[in-house]
Structure 1
Amino acid sequence: MAAGGSTAAALDAWIVFEDEAGFSMTPPIARTWARRGCTPVIRVRGRSRRRVSIAALTCYKPGQRSRLIYRPRRDDGRRDGRKSFAWSDYRDLLQVAHQQLGGPIVLVWDNLNVHLDARLRSWIAGRDWLTVHQLPSYAPDLNPVGVWGLLRRGWLSNVAFTSPDHLIQTVRRGLRTIQYRSDLIDGCLTGTGLSLSLTTPRVQAQ
């Protein structure tokens, strides 16, 4: 994080973390209230293969309100259809982030094969406003896109989704609420133990 932090300070840039998650029609289970001896039962409409995938960016800059920017991708349920994000989806998401943030971006993400796609790397190389750092392998605890846990414990828990549209609407409603709660976005960063105290080193004569 030190390298990313010094780069961001020098460029007066946003530090942006990216992560993806998928949500299916089967709801996450959370604790709830019930009469003693009466375990609640959530009845769902079979085991639907349809799901929604979300790529999200948590964006931080000292002195600025933290932001959440996301892009959904809906699975049509076909066996031959693409279920994950393509390199062009990440390109479009980063372009939107640059427009919304209005400044340089230092992007931190994992070693997902699509992130390493030659076409995406070529596109990144041509953007002077974008600097990319890879997270170490097998280090998900360093990525503060913890909005997935907020969704699963909150808006999505114990919900009997009636259709893929119902699932997508619920996910969007939760993400929109988080977008207005910068304290929740800040909490995701705090949970990693990382810090945004980006200061320029002082040179002192000996």
Structure 2
Amino acid sequence: MKQYNDFGTQRMQDDKLLLKQQRKRAAKPLLWVSMGSIFMAFAGLVSGYIVSRGFLLEKGQWVEFKLPNQFIYSTIIIVLSSIVLFIGQSQAKKNIERAGWYMVTALVLGALFCYFQIAAYQNLISRNIYFTGPGSFTSGSWIYAISFLHLLHIFGGLIALSVASVKAARHSYTEDDHLGYTLASIFWHFLGFVWIFLYTFLTFYR
């Protein structure tokens, strides 16, 4: 009877281990699929911007204005955060505890990115450029829509970085097993790439 119980317990443990391994193998492909979907959503917005701009230019109703300098600052910050995470990823294979501090640093920089994005909106409002309502215009509304959708995804990225930072602090990762750290880093790099693309596009396609 005891041998039967021991066999049953071992079988359950093996099943749990197999399920855990399957989830790990599926995690990265699922992340790539979700990032592809997010990028397509932004591609749709950019396409809408191009069509709207072309239509209103023909009617002489497209309003041009300078983007807030805060967008430049936030771009620099998100690039720095990605550099920090690249270093952290290389450290994760050697010293996961040290890599955790790089993750925390990237998290702080991410919060600073959000601060400058909000400051950019305040700058727009101070120049009477609104998302909607009396006095608003299409080109201004597009800037709000595109940048705010990205900001919402940034909040998701901050949650991922926060979870990874906590797990690193609790020693849930090891030098050989830190998939969550890697996935959070990849997602953050992706968000940084998307923002650089969006900011470059909006700067040169005004």
What range is the shorter-chain TM-score in? under 0.3
> Which protein shows a greater Rg?
2
Q: Choose between structure 1 and 2: higher helix proportion.
A: 2
When the two structures are superposed, what TM-score results if normalisation uses the length of structure 2?
0.23
When the two structures are superposed, what TM-score results if normalisation uses the length of structure 1?
0.23
Flag the structure with more relative contact order, 1 or 2, with Cα contacts below 8 A and sequence separation at least 6.
Answer: 1
Q: Choose between structure 1 and 2: higher strand proportion.
A: 1
